[in-house]
Amino acid sequence: MPCENLAPEPAIRICLATATDASGIASLLADSFGEYRLLYTLEGFEATAISAAEVADRLKEGPLWIAMRGTVIVGTVSVVRKSDSLYVRGMAVHPNARGRQIGEQLMEQAEHYGVRQGLRRLFLSTTPFLDRAISLYEKIGFRRIDSGPHDLFGTPLFTMEKILSVEP
């Protein structure tokens, strides 16, 4: 499927990823989370900044969107259905592309997908040191909840959710 311009900023295109995007997404994840590497356990970081093969596996399990500036992947979000909910299991924006509402646009794609699927909520787990991401999630309507998981291979986590409005 060709990459449609789903983003309000003309320089950014948001589209569904394909297997040919896997290495670019893996590189983006490494770049995006690299500044936090020392705050993760080794295993926690490896589970967050996944390999191209792991990205390709995720593509088989649920939709994954990318934000493109020209031919460069500058953002990504991956989701998978869990019962009546949509789990956001990977969201990142390249450090050089932050501040352009790319994360909001990617999360909007995930939310629209969940609504179209008739799902009740979005949820995600994040680490307490990802301040910018947490601010974004709160800004777009996510709230912290008590359910787990509470760690990722020893890296602390907490869970957030957003209740979706069902389309008539």
- Kindly state whether residue 124 falls inside one of the protein's structural domains: yes
Rounded average pLDDT over 114-141: 95
Residue 3 domain flag: no
Q: How far apart are CA 143 and CA 127, in angstroms?
A: 14
Give the residue-averaged pLDDT of 110-124: 95
pLDDT for 129 = 95
**Does some domain include residue 58?**
yes
CATH of the domain at 71: 3.40.630.30
Of 139, 141, 47, 133, whose CA–CA distance to 98 is shortest? 133
Q: Which two tokens stand for residue 106?
A: 């990617």
Structure-token pair, residue 85: 């909910």
Please give the pLDDT value at position 1: 45
**Confidence band for 148, pLDDT divided at 50, 70 and 90:** confident
**21 and 66 Cβ atoms separated by less than 8 Å:** yes
Query: What mean pLDDT, rounded, does the chain reach?
Result: 92
| Cβ partners under 8 Å of residue 28, min gap 6 | 73, 74, 75, 76, 92, 94
Within a domain: 1: no
pLDDT in tens, 54-104: 999 999 999 999 999 999 999 999 999 999 999 999 899 999 999 999 999
Is residue 145 within 8 A of residue 46, CB to CB? The reply is no
Residue 154 has pLDDT above 70, yes or no: yes
- Domain hosting 61: range is 12-163
Question: Does position 138 have pLDDT exceeding 80, yes or no?
Answer: yes
Q: Residue 160 — φ and ψ, nearest 5°?
A: -130, 155
pLDDT tens-digit map of 1-25: 456 554 455 589 999 999 999 999 9
8 A C-beta contact, residue 25 and residue 66: yes
**What confidence score (pLDDT) does residue 10 get?**
59
- For 91, other C-beta atoms within 10 Å of its C-beta total 23
Look at residues 22, 13, 19, 15 and name the one whose alpha carbon lies nearest to residue 1. Answer: 15
The answer to whether 16 and 59 are in contact (CB under 8 A) is: no
Assigned domain for 4 exists: no
Within the chain, strands assigned E span 12-16, 64-69, 72-82, 85-93, 121-126, 143-145, 151-152, 155-156, 158-163
Count of structural domains within the chain: 1
